Structure 1
Amino acid sequence: MCALLTGLVATAARAQQEDHSYYGPRLIEEKVRIPAPGGYTVAATILRPDTSGPFGVVVLNHGVSASARERARESSDLLINSAAVFARRGYVVVLPLRRGFGDTGGDMAEDPGSCSNPDYKGAEKNAAEDVMVAYNYARTLPYVDPNRMILAGQSAGGMVSVFTAGTRNPQGLVAVLAFAAGRGGDPDINPGIPCAIEPIARVMDMLGKNIHVPVLFNYSENDLFFSPKISRGWFDRFNANGAGAEYALQPAFGKDGHYLFVDTLGVRYWLPTVESFLTRHGVVFARLDQTDPERQPLLALDRVPNIKSDACKGLYRAFLESPG
C-alpha cells in the first residue's frame, strides 16, 4: 500500500503542472510585475484560492544559487507545490523574484562578497527591499486580509524572511516560517559546514532582539548546506535574548534534507509541524475543503481503510497535498 501511495504522489505532482484543480480546492495562478521604489519591477507569481476571500497572505521567498546562469533561470516552479499547500488553506501565496533572478533580471543585489569577509547584513538588507515590495503590494489586493500576513522561505529565502521581519517591522505580520534558513552553504566542498558561520550568527543575534512575532526554524537531519549543529547554533543565538522562536529538526530526507520543503514527498514531515505551530499561535490554517461532506472521508486520515502505519499516513497526506 505504501509503495502504491508513493506512485500516486508522483502522478499527482505531474498533474499539478497541468491543472491546479486536479485535486482539492481550485486555485488560480497569475504572473504580475510589481513596481518598486527604485524604478525597477519585481516579477512575481500569485497562487490563490478561486473564491472571494478575504484571505491571509504568505510571501514565499526563494533561495540563492551560486551560479549566475541558474539565478537567471529562477522561477516559481521549485516552490509552487509548497505554495499550493498554503493556498489550499485559504492563503494568497506571493512568490517574488528578487533582483538578479529570473524575470526580474538586473544585477544581483544580495551578493555578500567574499567568504573571508562577507557582508551578510548588507546583502540581506537589499534582499529585504524586494521582499517588502511584494509584501506591501499583497496587502493592497482586494481579496486579502492585510492583517494576516506570513513571511516564509527556503534556504536564503528563509534567511531573508527572518531578516525582513526583524528589520522592517512589517504591518500585519503574524508569523515567520524559515525552512533550512541560512547563507553560504556548499554541499559539494564542505557538506553541512557553510562559510562564515559567525557572521550569520551575529546577524541572528541582531534579529532575535527585534522580532515580535512567532518564528519557526525548520531543518532536516541531513541538510548538506547547514548541519544540525550549525543550524541549532544559529537558532540559539537568535533566541538568546528571549525571542521565543521554535526549532524543528525533521528526519533525514533523500540525499540532501536541505530540499525537504520543496520536494513533494517532504510535505509529510513539514506540514504537521507548521500546522501545530500556527494553530498554537492562533493563526488560522485549515484546508478550505475540510467541511465539504464529499471530501471529509478522504481527508480523515484515521478512517481511511488499509492506511494504518504512520509511514503510510504520511505518504497519504503527501498524496492529498501534492496536486494543486
Structure 2
Amino acid sequence: MRSMAEYRDFEPTVRFRPALALSPDGTRLAYIDDAQGQFHVAVQSLDGGPPRHLTRDLGESAWHVAWHPDGRSLFYNADTDGNEHHQLYLVDADTGDTTALTHSPDVTFRPAFGAPFSPDGRLLAYAGADRTPTDQDVLVRDLPTGEVRRVYAGGGRVYAGHWSPDGTRLTVIDLRGATTDQVISVLSLNDGHLTRLTPAGDTAAYLPGPWLPDGSGVLVLTSAGSDATGLAVLDATTGALTWLDTPPWDVEDVALSGDGHILAWLVNADGASHLRLRDLTTGSDLPTPTLPDGAAQKLTLSTDGSTIIMLMATPTRPTNVLVVDRHTGTTRWLTDARPAADPATFVEPEAIYIPAPDGHTVPAFLYRPRTTEPVGVVVAVHGGPPVQERPDYSNDGLFQFLVSHGVAVLAPNIRGSLGYGLAWQTAVHRDWGGVDLDDLDAVVDHLKQQPWVDPDRIGLVGRSYGGFVVLSAVSRLPEHRWAAAVAWCGPANLLTFSRAQPPSWRTQVAILVGDPDTDAEFLLARSPTTHADRITAPLFIIQGANDMRVPREESDQIVQRLRDRGVEVRYDIYPDEGHVFGKRTNQTRARSDAAEFLIAHLTRPVS
C-alpha cells in the first residue's frame, strides 16, 4: 500500500471554513482556518503579511466570525469534538482573551444570517433551542448588561436575519422546508410586533440579505415564481418584490457596501461563479472584474465598495481569500493555501451531460487521467442533497490525487442537487433512493459504454447524503458489480435516521425524507439495511462518533448486517469527530485511507 504522505501532497496546506468578516476600518480580515490543526479564528491585514490566530482551544472548532462595530473584538461560535452544540463567544482582537456568552453545552446556538451586532454594537442577535428542543427561538443579548431577551418564540426553526440600519428592526427567517420553503418577517425590537413579508401560502426559497440603507426594503434571494433563484428587493412594509436580476441560473450570494451605494452578487452558471455589480445611486450596472474559473462564496465588500473579497477555489487551486479591486479589475490572492504537489500536473474537469431514461440529462464533472489505456472510475456523490458538485478543488484534492494514480473521477449532480433549478432540487423530496438512484444508474451505464473506461473497475465514494446514495447503489444496484465503495457517515436506515434527528429539525426531515410515524414502510423499503444481503462490493465505512445528523448507529447497523453474513467491511470510527470533521489530522487520515482503499481496488497490479 502507498503511504499516507502521498495524499498529503495533494491536500491544501490550510483549509478554510465559509466565513469572512472585514474590520469596520477596512484594514483587517477575519476568517477561520485550520493552520493550527483545528478550525480557529484568524485575523490578517488586508495588505498582506502573516495571519494571527486568536482562538486556541484544540477541542473547539470555530464556524462563524463577525467584527464588533468598534473593531476591538470579534464574535464567533464553536462546538466541541464535532458535536454541533455551538456556543457563542467574544474574543479580543488584540489579546485573544475570550468571553463565553452562552453556557449550555447541550444546546445549539446559531448566529444571525447577517452581522449579529446591532449597528451601535450594543445588541447581539442569535437563535437557540434553549427553551424547548422542538423550537428554535430568536434571542437578543444586551452586551453591556448581559440581559437576554427572547424576542421571538412563535415555534418552528427560526433564525435571526439582518439588523435594519437604525437598529430598531430585525429580519427573522422561518426555515419550513430546508432551502425551498422559507418565510421572512420583520420584527420590531421596540414593541415586538412581527410583520410577515413573504406571501402566505407561497412555497418558495427566500434568503434575506442586507437592508437597503434607508430601511425601506431588504435584499433577498428568492425562487418566487421561477425555477431559478433571482435577486430582488422585498419591501419592508408591504412585502412587494422588485426584481433586480433574474438570470437563467441561480443567484447564490449578495453583498452591499457599507455606504449602501455598491451592490454585488454572484451568479452560479453551471457551477462557475460570475460576479455582477450595480451602482444603487444611479441604478446602472458597473464593469465587472473577471473571476478565475471556479466557485466563490462569502462575498464581502468594503465600506465604499472599492474592494471585493471572497473565498475562491478553482479545480487546480484550493480555497483561498481572493481580493478584487473594483476600479482596476485586478485580483490578488491574500492567502496562499496550496498543495505540495505540482498544480501543473493536475487535470481540469470536463463538464459533461449524461442522458437519463426520462429524457433529462444529468450534469457532471469528469476528471480523467492523461492516458490512452482503459482506467477505473470513481463515481463521487456529493452530500446534501441540496449541494452542488462544482469546478473547484473538490474534496481537498482527493479527486486530483486519484487521477494522479490513474483513476478517473466522475462527479455527477444527480437530482436533488442545487444549481439546476427548483424542480431538479426538489425532485428527491420524500424520494430518497428513487429518482436520484435512477440518475446514478444512468451515469454508470454511460460510463460502461466509454472506450476509455474499464467496466470491471467502477467504484463509489460519498459523504452524508452521498454516503446514503453509495450504500443504496451497492445494495440495490448490485448488477453493476461495484469494484469498491466508500461511504462516509451515510444514513443506512431511513426510519431510524429520521427518528434520530434533533427535535427542531423533524418538520424539515418529514418534508425532505419522510415522516417516520406515517411513512415507516416506505422509509424501510428505501433503506440500504433492508437490501444489505445483496451487498458484495468491498466496502469501507467512515463515521464520526459524535455525529448528530447521521448518528453512529446508522453505520453500526449496516456494518453489523454485513458482518453477520461474514462479509468483510472496513469500519473506521473517529471518537473525537462529528458529521463535519474539524481536526486536520483526522481529515487527512480519513481521506488518505479512503483514497488508498479505492486505488487498491480500481487499479491493476503492476506486473
TM-score, with length taken from structure 1 = 0.65
Distance change (3 Å), C-alpha of 1:61 and 1:8: closer
Give, in whole Å, the separation in 2 of the partners of 1:220 and 1:276.
20
Instruction: State the SS of the aligned residue for 1:134.
Output: helix
**Aligned twin of 1:26:** 346
Deviating more after overlay: 152-161 vs 98-107: 98-107
Deviation at 1:225, TM superposition (A): 1.3
**Aligned twin of 2:444:** 135
Corresponding residue to 2:407 among 91, 107, 110: 91
Q: How high is the sequence identity, in percent, across the aligned residues?
A: 22
Cα deviations by residue, 1:228-282 (Å, 9 ceiling, x for unpaired): 34432343245444443221113524xxx32349x98754221343356457x75
Q: Is the 8 A contact 2:529 2:557 kept in 1?
A: no
Give, in whole Å, the separation in 1 of the partners of 2:380 and 2:584.
16
Corresponding residue to 1:40 among 360, 372, 378: 360
- Are residue 271 (structure 1) and residue 591 (structure 2) matched? yes
- Are residue 227 (structure 1) and residue 576 (structure 2) matched? no
**Aligned twin of 1:110:** 428
Deviation at 1:129, TM superposition (A): 0.6
**Aligned twin of 1:75:** 389
The aligned runs of 1:201-220 (5 Å cut-off) are 203-220=527-544
Q: Is the 8 A contact 2:485 2:539 kept in 1?
A: yes
Give, in whole Å, the separation in 2 of the partners of 1:87 and 1:264.
23
Q: Is the 8 A contact 2:468 2:487 kept in 1?
A: yes
Counterpart amino acid of residue 591 in structure 2: L
Q: Is the 8 A contact 1:61 1:96 kept in 2?
A: yes
Distance change (3 Å), C-alpha of 1:89 and 1:278: same
Counterpart amino acid of residue 579 in structure 2: H
**Aligned twin of 2:475:** 166
Name whichever structure is richer in helix by fraction.
1
Deviation at 1:93, TM superposition (A): 0.7
**Aligned twin of 1:295:** none
Give, in whole Å, the separation in 2 of the partners of 1:79 and 1:186.
28
Cα deviations by residue, 1:170-196 (Å, 9 ceiling, x for unpaired): 4352111111111647569479xx985
**Aligned twin of 2:433:** 124
**Aligned twin of 1:247:** 571
Instruction: State the SS of the aligned residue for 1:123.
Output: coil
Corresponding residue to 1:179 among 479, 482, 488: 488
Q: Unaligned regions of 5+ residues in structure 2, if any?
A: 1-8, 17-33, 35-310, 318-340, 492-496, 510-514
Tell me how many residue pairs correspond in the alignment. Answer: 260
TM-score, with length taken from structure 2 = 0.37
Q: Is the 8 A contact 1:209 1:243 kept in 2?
A: no
Counterpart amino acid of residue 56 in structure 1: G
Give, in whole Å, the separation in 2 of the partners of 1:80 and 1:58.
13
State the structure with bigger RCO (CA 8 A, min sep 6), 1 or 2: 1
Distance change (3 Å), C-alpha of 1:172 and 1:226: closer
Deviation at 1:126, TM superposition (A): 2.3
Q: Is the 8 A contact 1:248 1:273 kept in 2?
A: no
**Aligned twin of 2:256:** none
Distance change (3 Å), C-alpha of 1:231 and 1:131: same
Give, in whole Å, the separation in 2 of the partners of 1:96 and 1:278.
18
Cα deviations by residue, 1:286-305 (Å, 9 ceiling, x for unpaired): 9x9xxxxxxxxxxxxxxxxx
Distance change (3 Å), C-alpha of 1:200 and 1:101: same
Give, in whole Å, the separation in 1 of the partners of 2:360 and 2:446.
14
Instruction: State the SS of the aligned residue for 1:33.
Output: strand
**Aligned twin of 2:263:** none
Q: Unaligned regions of 5+ residues in structure 1, if any?
A: 66-70, 113-121, 289-324
Distance change (3 Å), C-alpha of 1:200 and 1:270: farther
Counterpart amino acid of residue 453 in structure 2: V
Instruction: State the SS of the aligned residue for 2:432.
Output: helix
Give, in whole Å, the separation in 2 of the partners of 1:200 and 1:260.
28
Q: Is the 8 A contact 1:275 1:285 kept in 2?
A: no
Q: Is the 8 A contact 1:208 1:242 kept in 2?
A: no
**Aligned twin of 1:62:** 382
Q: Is the 8 A contact 2:316 2:393 kept in 1?
A: no
